Amino acid sequence: MLSNFRSFAQSPLALVIIVLLVLAFAIALPSSGGIFTGSGDAVVTVGPERISQRELSSAFNGEVRRLQDQDSSITAEQARAEGLGEQVLQQQITLAAFAARARELGLEVSNQAIVREVADIPAFLNPVTGEFDRDAMTAALRRVGMSEDQFADNIEGDLLRTQLIATLAGLSGSPDQMAQTRYLVAEERRRVTGLVIDASTADEIADPTDEELQTFIEETPGQNGQPLFTRPEFRAFTLVRLQLQDFIRDVAIDETFLRDTYEYERSTGRLGTPAIRSFAQLNTQDEATAQAAAERLSAGEAPAAIAAALGLGAPLIQEDVQVGDIPDSQLAEAVFGMAAEESAAIEGRFAWSAVLVTAAEEAFIPSFEEERDRLQTSAAQAQATDDLYDAVERFETARADGAILEVAAETAGVPLEIYQPLALNSIDEDLGFDGARYQSLAPELLPAAFDSVEGFAIDLRTFNDTDFFTLRVDSIVPSRPFELEEIRDQAESRWRSIQVDTQLRARAEDALAQLEAGDDIELVSLTTGGRTETSTLQRGQTAGAFSQLAMSTAFNMSVGDTDMLQVGEGTYLLMTLNEIIPADIADASDLEMDGISSTIDAQLGDDVLQATRDYLVREYGITDESVDARLFSLAIGETDPNAPR
């Protein structure tokens, strides 16, 4: 996990926060407790370690935020539906298992170890003083919603696991012979000659008779067990859609309402961006000292140096705070009245302070005209949603009173859509395909039509997240084999392809027999047709007719062997292995061998760690029954804690 911290630390903001927290921990490391030790019931207990609901929730929410950084449209609900909760749980169980075994082995973490781990990261230093600042650490902790003890446990657990994992991974050091063998295998080459027989060499195929085509249509199987040339089932249906977009078109919003909404958002701070200040603060005993410190700040002297000279406490450094983040309202008002690089002596509610504003960003409030389109869209959508639900209520009330779809739609004031027979993929009976129709119907609505009983309208269902629909299947046209005249061109094309493939397979088998009898491949190419190719390739390389499949086959052949492969419909490759060209270890550079050894070590280390993880989970008896399903559901934010996992 420390490696994850380092990756996360590529972000300057994240790095500053993490570093300050770690250094704070180095000041006062608790003597006991682990990363998974928490109060209350545990979601799962792994040996001496407990994964609490709070800890699992924090890990899950962190993963959701990471996904949202990549795609802001992802919701926690979608992440749960994709199984993220279970993945995070398994990750936490793995971490707990390693932490448990590390503690059982007596591994410990010292304050000095933590300091050494983080001291080389520049962002751990206060950007103004160049030294650690505990007040800034406390503020950073508060911003990420974590206590000092929580973070201390996290770092201690990480270092414990790192010690154990490093020991395990160190067991996987590979001997030099393994790297040498891998080099020799990777660099070995094979010279192969191939005879390609494809459709370009096929004899002319006579036209099929109607009887041949009809038999072909009826008997050629498709992937679903039905004849290949089967006309799909079609269904005609009546559809009623209540769509939010239809109601938005008719919404008119009063100008006064838009202006009132704008004023409300402006007055409540929901509009624009707030003012932000970064500043250094020196708390003093009196006004005179505050004035003296402010003058020295104005002259460019470092806050820490001033504090030392005047016998003051360590300077408080605040970064990117809003006015509400400063507890002292008098101090906040004065600071936010100052500009960047300005210093002043300020009398707060509790004491005097000398303040240097290091950065200032004023609040930005867009005008009504700039916000009008957004306000109009938002208000129109809200009004349209109300209108949509009113229409749904009228529609459902009419149906409850016995109205058919046509009457209920008229009562609700929504359109009625009547579709002539369509297949599940939205093609019509003339086999015509309309892309817009497919996008409109196929994803959600047509499957419902094909799951419905003829003559009965289904219950109202939701689709597109905001809309509703119902439909009634009016008629069903059963599936059947195509008649010859309906499918003649397609059937004949497919029939010819099969005839050509059959002819070429027979020719390839004849060529194989000749090659196995010892005939020269060039001579065979003259008698059977086709062209020859020769290449010398390593594993994984391809060229011309020699695909990955062909070369994989070649590296399992002996010199003089011949094999036949079908590399495409109507394309066959007769391949002979001419020569095996071994690699010479003397050609390998030290850099190459070091890289191969590192790769092998990493792979063996991964295997060792995975095996250890599996062993520990078994030893601690962790199964599905070990997990408190209710607490697990609550931790990942499921609304129904009793829902089955």
The predicted-structure confidence for 289-319, as pLDDT tens digits, reads as follows 999 999 999 999 999 999 999 998 889 998 8
Percent of the chain surpassing pLDDT 70: 81
What pLDDT does 413 receive? 92
**Of residues 259, 173, 283, the one with CA closest to residue 605:** 173
Examine the fold and report which residue of 438, 453, 478 is the final residue of a domain before the chain moves on: 478
* Together in a domain, 406 and 446: yes
Contact, 161 vs 98, CB < 8 A? yes
Listed range (30-44, 46-60, 417-431, 486-500) with the worst mean pLDDT: 30-44
- Phi-psi label, residue 620: left if phi above 0, alpha if psi -120 to 50, beta otherwise: alpha
Residues 6+ apart with CB under 8 A from 116: none
Contact, 351 vs 242, CB < 8 A? no
* Together in a domain, 464 and 497: no
Listed range (11-15, 51-55, 184-188, 343-347) with the worst mean pLDDT: 11-15
Contact, 197 vs 571, CB < 8 A? yes
Q: How far is CA 564 from CA 196, 361, 520, in A?
A: 10, 74, 16
* Together in a domain, 438 and 322: no
CA-based angle 476:480:485, to the nearest 5?
120
Pairing state between β 276-284 and 316-321: antiparallel
Examine the fold and report which residue of 314, 339, 361 is the final residue of a domain before the chain moves on: 361
* Together in a domain, 13 and 142: yes
Classify burial at 418, counting beta carbons within 10 Å of its beta carbon; exposed 0-12, middle 13-18, buried 19 or more.
Answer: exposed
One-letter identity of residue 124: F
Domain total of the chain: 4
Average pLDDT value for residue range 340-344: 94
Classify burial at 592, counting beta carbons within 10 Å of its beta carbon; exposed 0-12, middle 13-18, buried 19 or more.
Answer: middle
Q: What is the tens place of the pLDDT at every residue in 593-625?
A: 989 988 888 787 778 778 888 888 899 999 988
pLDDT tops 90 at residue 514? yes
pLDDT tops 70 at residue 454? yes
Name the DSSP class of 325: G
* Together in a domain, 295 and 408: no
Q: What confidence category does residue 511 fall into, taking pLDDT thresholds of 50, 70 and 90?
A: very high
Examine the fold and report which residue of 450, 478, 506 is the final residue of a domain before the chain moves on: 478
Give the whole-angstrom CA distance, residue 367 versus residue 414: 38
* Together in a domain, 111 and 160: yes
Contact, 593 vs 600, CB < 8 A? no
Partners of 577 in the beta sheet? 192
Q: What is the tens place of the pLDDT at every residue in 229-274?
A: 888 899 999 999 999 888 887 677 888 888 888 888 887 767 888 8
| Element at 422 (helix H, strand E) | strand 416-422
Average pLDDT value for residue range 575-592: 93
Q: How far is CA 14 from CA 20, 144, 176, 250, 338, in A?
A: 10, 10, 42, 47, 28
Average confidence score pLDDT of the chain:
81
* Together in a domain, 16 and 132: yes
Residues 6+ apart with CB under 8 A from 37: 49, 50, 153
Q: What confidence category does residue 146 fall into, taking pLDDT thresholds of 50, 70 and 90?
A: low
| Element at 613 (helix H, strand E) | helix 590-619
What pLDDT does 35 receive? 36
* Together in a domain, 434 and 524: no
One-letter identity of residue 439: Q
* Together in a domain, 218 and 238: no
Classify burial at 201, counting beta carbons within 10 Å of its beta carbon; exposed 0-12, middle 13-18, buried 19 or more.
Answer: middle
Supply the range of the domain harboring residue 145. 2-172+605-635
* Together in a domain, 294 and 322: yes
